[in-house]
Chains A and B, each alone.
Chain A
Amino acid sequence: MSKVAITVNGSAPTNVFPPFILGSSAIASGDEVIIFFCPGGAPAMVKGEIEKMDVKGLPNLLELYEGVRNLGGKIYVCELALDAKDLKKEEFREGVEIIGATTFINEIKDATITFSF
C-alpha cells in the first residue's frame, strides 16, 4: 500500500473536490492519505464551508470528507493560515488538525504519490 500526500492551496470547489475524490479513492483501497491545506486552501476547512459546495455531477463532498476521516485519513491545516486568513483554531471543522510545515514534511517523507491542487 502507498502513502498519498495531497496539498491544497485554494478554497474553491475546483481545488477542494479533487483532494477528497482522489483521497477517498486511495484510502478506500487501503492507502494512507494525508491532506494538507496551505493558507490559500484553509478557508475550505472552516465549519460549514464543505456543506456549501454542491457541484453538478460531482459526488457529495461531505460524504467524501467523512469517508476519508472514518478510514483514518489525516486532514491538516497549515498553522500559517491562522494569521494569514484571520482564522481561529476553533473555527475549523472537527477532525482537522493545525500543524506546521516541518511536521507535514516529516510525515510525508516516505509518500510515493503526491498531488497539489
Chain B
Amino acid sequence: MAIKNLDTLGLKCPQPILKVAILVPQMNPGDILEVLADCESFPKDIKAWAEKTGKTLLFCNTDETGKHTAQIQF
C-alpha cells in the first residue's frame, strides 16, 4: 500500500478532480492519494467523485486559510 501526494493548489474547478482522475491508472487497490486543493468547490466535488467512482474518501479537512486536504483510498 502506497501513499501518493497531489498538489493542486491554485488550480480551479474541475482541474483538481481531473488531475485525480488522470492518476487513477497509477493507483493500486488499497493505495491512498492525498490531495491538496484551494478550489472553493473541492470538498463537495471530491465527495461526489468518490461516490460516483466507488472510491473511499477517508477525509477532507479545510484549514483556516481555506486550504483543503483530502485522502482517498483506492
Which of under 10, 10 to 19, 20 to 34, or 35 or more describes the interface residues of A?
10 to 19
- Is B21 touching A28 in the complex (CB atoms < 8 A)? yes
Residues on B with C-beta less than 8 A from A9 are none
A63 within 8 A of B: yes
* Cβ contact within 8 Å between A29 and B15: no
Q: A44 to chain B: closest CB distance in Å?
A: 19
Q: Is the CB of A67 within 8 A of B52?
A: no
Is B22 a contact partner of A21 (Cβ separation < 8 A)? no
Interface check B49, CB cutoff 8 A: yes
**7 closest Cβ pairs, A-B complex:** A28-B21, A25-B14, A67-B18, A59-B12, A29-B52, A59-B15, A28-B18
Which residues of B come within 8 Å of A, CB atoms? 11-15, 17-22, 45, 48-49, 52-53
16 A-B residue pairings within 8 Å (CB atoms): A21-B14, A24-B14, A25-B45, A27-B21, A28-B17, A28-B21, A28-B22, A28-B49, A29-B49, A29-B52, A59-B12, A60-B15, A63-B15, A67-B15, A67-B21, A71-B21
Residues of A bordering B, CB below 8 Å: 1, 21, 24-25, 27-30, 57-60, 63-64, 67, 70-71
